[in-house]
Structure 1
Amino acid sequence: MTNPTYSISDLARELDITTRTIRFYEEQGMLCPERRGLERVYSARDKVTLKLILRGKRIGFSLAECRDLIGLYDPTGDNQKQLTTMLTKIAERRAQLDQQLLDIEQMQLELDTAEERCKAALSKSL
């Protein structure tokens, strides 16, 4: 049985991204499709790599972090280091989001205060 292959348009359609996005990750050295003439031919591994990049970007990982995590993948199945690193990065990202949430809540309080002062000043001038 042969491994499935994909054209750039197949991957773009299947993952709901643009072909330009795929070419960008290729330019970054994160995808290495075979070439058949001028056509790019992506493997099942390329598809998995692309899914991992997209998932990493969705949860806020940088491209460098995605590259590092993908680089830790061990095809023999021993992915303890990759999984441990992923858990560390998740914890770091969660801490960043918690801090951003606190910052947003503080900003909302400051906006409420400024709004109340403006309303009070307006009511005094009427």
Structure 2
Amino acid sequence: MNTQYTITELAREFDVTPRAIRFYEDQGLLSPSREGSSGLRRVYSGRDRTRLKLTLRGKRLGFTLSEIRDLLDLYDSPTDTVPQLHAFLATVKRHREVLERQLEDLNATLEDLAQYEVEARTLLESGARGADALVSDARST
């Protein structure tokens, strides 16, 4: 089946702007054909639609456009899927490691904030003199 899409149809379907789609085209992620007397009208194929869908999914996962392009190009190649899967797994592993480090940092920050909150509430309960000490301590750091 040779289904074709306009930029407006794809933008509406995936809730992105036509400008975003043109940007992905400029980055080599999409390659629509051109129609019309001036060749300005973009016509996207089913392949382009799938690549846009995978690009948006990759962006949600935190992949860079370069990583997405490399992965999409691997899937377009006629070779077997083993190298493709290894490349995909390596990319996923790198992103998982980054996210796990970020999660550790966030958990440490949340623990610090919880401790500061306890200290601030304790000072407030002990009166205004304690609040003055908190402000003074905060200014010295």
Q: Same fold (TM over 0.5)?
A: yes
Q: How does 1:8-47 map to 2 (within 5 A)?
A: 8-37=7-36, 38-47=40-49
- How far does residue 115 in structure 1 lie from its aligned partner after superposition? 1.1
2:53 is aligned with 1:51: yes
Q: Could you tell me which runs of 5 or more consecutive residues in structure 2 were left unpaired when the two chains were aligned.
A: 129-141
Structure 1 or 2, whichever has the larger Rg, is 2
Q: Which of 96, 99, 114 is 1:97 aligned to?
A: 99
Instruction: Work out the CA distance in 2 between the residues paired with 1:17 and 1:39.
Output: 18
| TM-score relative to the length of structure 2 | 0.80
Q: Does structure 1 retain, via aligned residues, the 8 Å contact 2:6–2:43?
A: yes
Shift of 1:124: 2.2
Distance 1:108 1:117 in 2: 14
Runs of 5+ consecutive residues of structure 1 not aligned to the other structure: none
1:68 positional shift = 1.2
Residue 85 (structure 2) pairs with residue 86 (structure 1) = no
CA distance in 1, matches of 2:122, 2:108: 21
Counterpart-to-counterpart distance in 2, 1:74 and 1:46 = 11
- The percent identity for this pair of structures is 46
Number of residue pairs matched by the alignment: 125
Q: Cα distance, 1:125 vs. partner? A: 2.4
CA RMSD in angstroms comes to 1.6
3-state SS of the aligned residue for 1:35? strand
